[in-house]
Structure 1
Amino acid sequence: MSKRWVLKSKSSSNQLRKLQTELHIEESLALLLSQRGIDDFDSAKKFFRPSLDDLHDPFLMKDMQSAVERIEKAINQSENIMVYGDYDVDGTTAVSLVYLYLKQIYSNLTFYIPDRYKEGYGVSKDGIDFAADNNIHLIISLDCGIKANEQVEYARQKNIDFIIADHHLPGENLPRAVAVLDAKRKDCSYPYKELSGCGVGFKLIQALNTKFHLDKKFLYALLDLVAVSIAADIVPITGENRVLATYGLKVLNKKPRLGLAMLLPQEKKGNINISDIVFGIAPKINAAGRIHHATDAVKLLTCENSLTARKYVSQINKLNTQRKNIDHSITDEALALLGKETEKKNTSIVYQPHWHKGVIGIVASRLTETYYRPTVVFTKGEDNVLVASVRSIKGFDVYEALEECSDLLERFGGHMYAAGFSMKEVHLPEFQRKFEKAVSKKINSHQKNPSIEIDTEISFKEITPKFLRILHQFQPYGPENLNPLFLTQNALFAGYGKRLGKNGEHLKFDLFSVDSKQIFSAIAFNMGELLPRIKEELFDIVYSIEENHWQGKTYTQLNIKDLRFHN
């Protein structure tokens, strides 16, 4: 499917010239900074030189003092404490973080991850019953709990207190917990609102570290877990998240904890970036909760014994392989079902009762990439109730469309681009009709065609060693600071080209441009069939610039995202 090329708008020339002069950089780099809201020397300094000194005081977060006092009381009175978290990467890293920190200063401690299939997302009554049965009187919930009003009341009846550390949007009424730590609370004046769940957990242990007057090294050694959560949960890498991610990556590359070290690909060790976490580490951690139980992930992340860690890594790798096989099988089935449709629709809706609940979100994402329209993938859950994962396309609010079908749904939640819900099977035909109508009413023609946003156009002559050094400092990349995409016109094949991959689907080749004889190496995924034309024709490219590490050497590589021939 061809993509529209959209060149981002430029800032005023006066503003760009001012930034260029202050920083002694090229106009294209000044433009990239301006697009990220950086318009003067001081903001550029904070961007290029993130510092742990720039982390906000954790006690600025509403209820932090109450949370610290309750934990201190539990420690002083030798109470049992349970660290509770969600089963995804953000939840398991958050539980591991707080558990590892408290374990160094306190022993009456355990952790709990709900079973994805038996208990579902968030705080469960089963988890609270486990706490009651084990004489636990304080639960610290991480990456969940902000809407667990009923569960917190249930816990209160059993004489169990809650500290909630979450980053999701609260409901109208907060749970009656001892403390509710969430920067998105309307009454919370904490300066940064986009922390991951593990990030909120970090603020809690940062506050405890201050209270107990402990060495900060004690705290910062855990930042590899925070970096993994930031990458996996796709939160903005701006402000405080940029600081946490930067220093977390340093820990991950220099001295990662045992479990993470064993998950890292050998060839990337010492050069792990956010993308490596998203595509390499996070799926393995997630596989534990998708296929078996996320407790395995926490055991790995908190393990200090090599033999035991190896056992968990082996198990998690097997689960990840199993997850891939299931995912590919279901995707093939779903594509076959959609391929039989004769009517042109604005949505993709597929259902098979035997599909694995743990991977339908991944399948929905794959179908969205293929057909580029809002997608719902159903399977059968408990008690003959259908469960669904929903994915959207750029600029279309799928949550809003689901709200128009809410009378048919049992439970639903999510946000603009992804959601999940449950529904009685009898409502499926009506849902298909109603969801298609809701989407068709609001989707516009531009949204139906995928677009690629280009930061700026540059000549190959601009890609100098100084340019690359400064560009490298834009990392870590992520939401609101994406790896910049450049446009260069009039490119030509430079004599080397080779198809890669099992079926020759990818392409590696050298190229130069009409106005520059400098030759660059390029990689182009899923463009292998274009090699004959690339050898003969003039073309324009949209690409990112990356470092490729191979056999101990590092070189600059263009990662081509799209390509257009002149003819």
Structure 2
Amino acid sequence: MEKRWNILQPDPDAVTALQNTLKINRVLCKILVQRGIRTFEEAKLFFRPQIQQLHSPWLMKDMDKAVERILAAFRNNEKILVFGDYDVDGTTSVAAMYRFLKTQHHPVDFYIPHRYREGYGISKAGIDFAKANGFSLIVALDCGIKSVDLVQYARTLQIDFVICDHHLPDTILPDAAAILNPKQPDCAYPYKELCGCGVGYKLITALCEKLALPEAFPYQYLDLVATAIAADIVPITGENRILAYYGLQQVNKEPNAGIRALAYLSGTRLPLYIHNLVFMIAPRVNAAGRMDDARKAVQLFVAASYKEALEYAELLHSDNSERKEADSSITEEALEIIVQNTTWSTRKSTVVYQPHWHKGVVGIVASRLIEHHYRPTVVLTESGDYAAGSARSVPGFNLYEAIHACREYLIGYGGHFAAAGLTLSKENIDLFREKFEAVVAASISEELLTPEIIIDAEISFADISPAFFNILRQMEPFGPGNMSPLFLARGVRDTGFSRIVKEQHLRFVVQQQGVQLTGIGFNMAAKFPILSAGGPFDLVFKIDENEWQGKKSLQLRVEDIRVAG
């Protein structure tokens, strides 16, 4: 699939000024300027984040109410139920809050709704569980901001809610004892991009202050916060960057037993980086909710010993293996359906349906299909008497608006710009498919149907050195808002030693102006003729480190290649 190359061009005067101040490679200064860093002080705080930079939790609207309601529950020996969603953000939020509350208060339990029996967020079954078991306070994490009716129902049962959420609130808010959400229009909290676990962590820090606990007491939960930040794909800027930076330190010094167990089962060695949390922890935790019951993900994170954590980790590992198998076979089936429907090749959207597909993986399959057929995609399966599924967008296209425009054929839907879920009658699938295609075709630009690669800077092989890579690594943790830099090298030539490996990947051995480097390009075997032709080509890549037989060397992680223009 051909890709658009977008090479960022920062203000050259700002780059020169920063280079004169920092005295480092100009290419690095270009990247820093693009990320909003213009001065020595900004660079210092970027490279050396300080935990003291975190904002006071008391700046968040309702923090005083939330703390007072929880302290009242301590004084009155009330039973507190910690409630959270079944994904990584929800389960880590619940684990952190539950572990903290247990250090101060005995009657505490947690509840994770079942994905298929109860659905997303606060559930009536969860509230009924609280009533039946004598809980008078529910602390809801990563959900609750839209649960107006259910919070009101809980009130009729004399159950209060403290809500910690980060999703966009509606105009009407639940009648809770307190709502912590920096996205509330009248909330003065300076940083708006916290994940659910981040909001919960701010509540923990405020409680620690009130209880006169040591300043470092809440730091023990930062590994879970970092895991949530990594998995929930929130911007790794501002406070999230500080929390992730110190959370990774915790992961590598004294990690949660659950994180240790998952690292062991996935064969990942220390030190762990943010991408390890994304690709090692997140799929296994999410698989618990997709394939079975996510309660065991919390049990993993609150386990009292490594031995106990390992038992739960093995269950999650097994769920993930089952998830991968389902995801792989369904993707293969879906691609076959697309290939067989030859008229679909001219379409601007994809909608596929099979009644036997597993509900838990349709969102992942939609993302996989976009890798092959780059267009807004909906994957549907049977759900009781109806069809239900997930939709994923291509960057820049508002998927939610497109689905909203098809609401005449839908029973229910929800989501945001890039992803959505929907339910409809099975007899309306074809009608929905045609309407969705008409809406997408009328509103999407041709440009958005070609994947874009955003390149941070041009570089020569001569600039790539261990010292350069050492500074690059200090820009971590990487993620949205601070992605791992992508470089472009022009006029590169093959040395004659590049080859196809495992039938689909490319092993690069290339040189530019006498400097030779090796690299790997995953799923790039089809591009081998560009190398073997012998002419110059342009290479887009990340810089990585390879370890072989105890020796480390720099290598290129190639993302794209084209004949030199």
Is 1:396–2:361 an aligned residue pair?
A: no
Q: Which residue of 1 aligns with 2:7?
A: 7
Query: Quick one: distance in 2 between partners of 1:551 and 1:194?
Result: 42
Q: Which residue of 2 aligns with 1:191?
A: 190
Q: Which residue of 1 aligns with 2:97?
A: 98
Instruction: Answer whether contact 2:122 2:144 (CA < 8 A) is retained.
Output: yes
Is 1:316–2:316 an aligned residue pair?
A: yes
Distance 1:151 1:438, change over 3 A: same
Q: Which residue of 1 aligns with 2:174?
A: 175
- 1:279-358 to structure 2, matched below 5 A, reads 279-343=279-343, 344-358=346-360
Which one of the candidate residues 552, 556, 564 is aligned to 1:558? 556
Q: Which residue of 2 aligns with 1:123?
A: 122
The letter for the 2-side match of 1:379 is: T
Deviation at 1:430, TM superposition (A): 2.1
Instruction: Answer whether contact 2:136 2:160 (CA < 8 A) is retained.
Output: yes
Distance 1:550 1:198, change over 3 A: farther
- 1:399-414 to structure 2, matched below 5 A, reads 399-414=400-415
- 1:461-472 to structure 2, matched below 5 A, reads 461-472=462-473
Instruction: Answer whether contact 1:274 1:476 (CA < 8 A) is retained.
Output: yes
Superposed CA offset, 1:21-41 (max 9, x none): 111122211111111111222
Is 1:538–2:536 an aligned residue pair?
A: yes
The letter for the 1-side match of 2:38 is: D
Instruction: Answer whether contact 2:490 2:564 (CA < 8 A) is retained.
Output: no
Query: Quick one: distance in 2 between partners of 1:455 and 1:180?
Result: 40
Give the secondary-structure state (helix, strand or coil) at the position aligned to 1:90. Answer: helix
The letter for the 2-side match of 1:97 is: A
Deviation at 1:19, TM superposition (A): 1.1
Deviation at 1:258, TM superposition (A): 0.9
Deviation at 1:289, TM superposition (A): 0.5
Mean alpha-carbon deviation: is it higher for 477-486 or for 426-435? 426-435
Give the secondary-structure state (helix, strand or coil) at the position aligned to 1:332. Answer: helix
Q: Which residue of 2 aligns with 1:108?
A: 107
Query: Quick one: distance in 1 between partners of 2:242 and 2:488?
Result: 30
- 1:36-115 to structure 2, matched below 5 A, reads 36-115=35-114
Instruction: Answer whether contact 2:509 2:516 (CA < 8 A) is retained.
Output: yes
Give the secondary-structure state (helix, strand or coil) at the position aligned to 1:469. Answer: helix
Deviation at 1:500, TM superposition (A): 3.2
Distance 1:170 1:321, change over 3 A: same
Deviation at 1:551, TM superposition (A): 4.5
Query: Quick one: distance in 2 between partners of 1:542 and 1:222?
Result: 38
Q: Aligned residue pairs: how many?
A: 561
Give the secondary-structure state (helix, strand or coil) at the position aligned to 1:221. Answer: helix
Query: Quick one: distance in 2 between partners of 1:544 and 1:300?
Result: 34
Q: Which residue of 2 aligns with 1:520?
A: 517
Q: Which residue of 1 aligns with 2:489?
A: 488
Deviation at 1:540, TM superposition (A): 1.3
Query: Quick one: distance in 2 between partners of 1:556 and 1:51?
Result: 29
The letter for the 1-side match of 2:312 is: Y
Q: Which residue of 1 aligns with 2:377?
A: 375
Deviation at 1:18, TM superposition (A): 1.1
Give the secondary-structure state (helix, strand or coil) at the position aligned to 2:216. Answer: helix
Query: Quick one: distance in 1 between partners of 2:550 and 2:162?
Result: 47
The letter for the 2-side match of 1:419 is: A
Query: Quick one: distance in 1 between partners of 2:164 and 2:94?
Result: 11
Instruction: Answer whether contact 1:254 1:270 (CA < 8 A) is retained.
Output: no
- 1:226-245 to structure 2, matched below 5 A, reads 226-245=225-244
Query: Quick one: distance in 1 between partners of 2:527 and 2:435?
Result: 41
Mean alpha-carbon deviation: is it higher for 552-561 or for 469-478? 552-561
Q: Which residue of 1 aligns with 2:158?
A: 159
Give the secondary-structure state (helix, strand or coil) at the position aligned to 2:162. Answer: strand
Deviation at 1:446, TM superposition (A): 0.6
Q: Which residue of 1 aligns with 2:247?
A: 248
Mean alpha-carbon deviation: is it higher for 314-323 or for 211-220? 211-220
Mean alpha-carbon deviation: is it higher for 13-22 or for 108-117? 13-22
Deviation at 1:529, TM superposition (A): 4.8
Query: Quick one: distance in 1 between partners of 2:237 and 2:545?
Result: 22
Identity among equivalent pairs (%):
47
Query: Quick one: distance in 1 between partners of 2:246 and 2:545?
Result: 20
Superposed CA offset, 1:336-394 (max 9, x none): 11112222211100111111111000000011111000000111213x12212000112
**What do you get for the CA RMSD once the two structures are aligned?**
1.6
Superposed CA offset, 1:153-197 (max 9, x none): 010000000000000000111100000000000010100000011
Deviation at 1:48, TM superposition (A): 0.9
Instruction: Answer whether contact 2:261 2:306 (CA < 8 A) is retained.
Output: no
Instruction: Answer whether contact 2:466 2:554 (CA < 8 A) is retained.
Output: no
Superposed CA offset, 1:194-224 (max 9, x none): 0011111111101111111112332111111
Query: Quick one: distance in 1 between partners of 2:396 and 2:178?
Result: 36
Q: Which residue of 1 aligns with 2:479?
A: 478
- With structure 2 as the length reference, what TM-score do the two structures score? 0.96
Q: Which residue of 2 aligns with 1:419?
A: 420
Deviation at 1:530, TM superposition (A): 4.3
Deviation at 1:254, TM superposition (A): 1.8
Query: Quick one: distance in 1 between partners of 2:237 and 2:324?
Result: 32
Mean alpha-carbon deviation: is it higher for 504-513 or for 219-228? 504-513
- Structure 2 residues not aligned, in runs of 5+: none
Superposed CA offset, 1:382-419 (max 9, x none): 3x122120001121111111121123322222111111
The letter for the 1-side match of 2:211 is: F
The letter for the 2-side match of 1:171 is: D
Give the secondary-structure state (helix, strand or coil) at the position aligned to 1:264. Answer: helix
Give the secondary-structure state (helix, strand or coil) at the position aligned to 2:190. Answer: coil
Instruction: Answer whether contact 1:542 1:562 (CA < 8 A) is retained.
Output: yes
Instruction: Answer whether contact 1:259 1:300 (CA < 8 A) is retained.
Output: yes
The letter for the 1-side match of 2:140 is: S
Which one of the candidate residues 349, 357, 365 is aligned to 2:367? 365
Is 1:33–2:35 an aligned residue pair?
A: no
Query: Quick one: distance in 1 between partners of 2:380 and 2:471?
Result: 46
Query: Quick one: distance in 2 between partners of 1:203 and 1:498?
Result: 51
Deviation at 1:122, TM superposition (A): 0.4
Query: Quick one: distance in 1 between partners of 2:311 and 2:10?
Result: 53
Distance 1:460 1:353, change over 3 A: same
Superposed CA offset, 1:430-451 (max 9, x none): 2112111111111111111112
Give the secondary-structure state (helix, strand or coil) at the position aligned to 1:169. Answer: coil
Deviation at 1:308, TM superposition (A): 2.3
Distance 1:199 1:319, change over 3 A: same
Instruction: Answer whether contact 1:253 1:269 (CA < 8 A) is retained.
Output: no
Superposed CA offset, 1:241-266 (max 9, x none): 00000111111112111111011157
Is 1:145–2:150 an aligned residue pair?
A: no
Is 1:133–2:132 an aligned residue pair?
A: yes
